[in-house]
Amino acid sequence: MKYSALCICAFLLLIGCASNSTSYVTYYLDKGYDGHPVNEFFRDYGYPAGEFKAGQGKAYRWTSVRAPEENRAMYATADGTYQITDNYRGSTVRNYCELRIITNRDDIILGFSIAVDSTGKWSSSRCSELFTKIYP
């Protein structure tokens, strides 16, 4: 009886950790970068895959997958209000994290959101593996 109760508690704990991983990631990113120039984030993690207008500022699309420059394809609207870079180019990615970084007109970070968070290499969240270990 004690063994089954212990297994149920462990299972519920694991489910709780998996479901909250995205809120932990955005919490840690906000803690470290909110109010800072977006180039600080790009310096630490690499350049964005694309950007588009969002209100008075911009929204950047950052991905954990980096393709060589010659393998990227750029798509943009005719008026230039939206552009996106295709990093995939036919490849399959198993562990993937994609963020949206919202900035004001001066490129100061206002917040983060997670667009895609696949299973990680060692956990249920690739974004969590990449970002939640950067702060104590």
User: Residue 95: what pLDDT?
Assistant: 82
Determine the straight-line distance between the first and last CA of the chain, rounded to whole angstroms: 38
The rounded Cα 98 to chain-centroid distance in angstroms is 4
pTM of this structure: 0.66
Confidence of residue 85 (pLDDT cuts 50, 70, 90): low
The pLDDT tens digits of the residues spanning 11-58 come to 434 444 444 456 788 888 998 999 999 999 999 999 898 898 988 999
Q: Are 65 and 92 in contact (CB under 8 A)?
A: no
Q: Is the pLDDT of residue 69 over 70?
A: no
| Token pair 């290499």: residue | 121
Residues forming beta bridges with residue 114, ordered by sequence position: 99
Residue that wins the pLDDT comparison between 96 and 91: 96
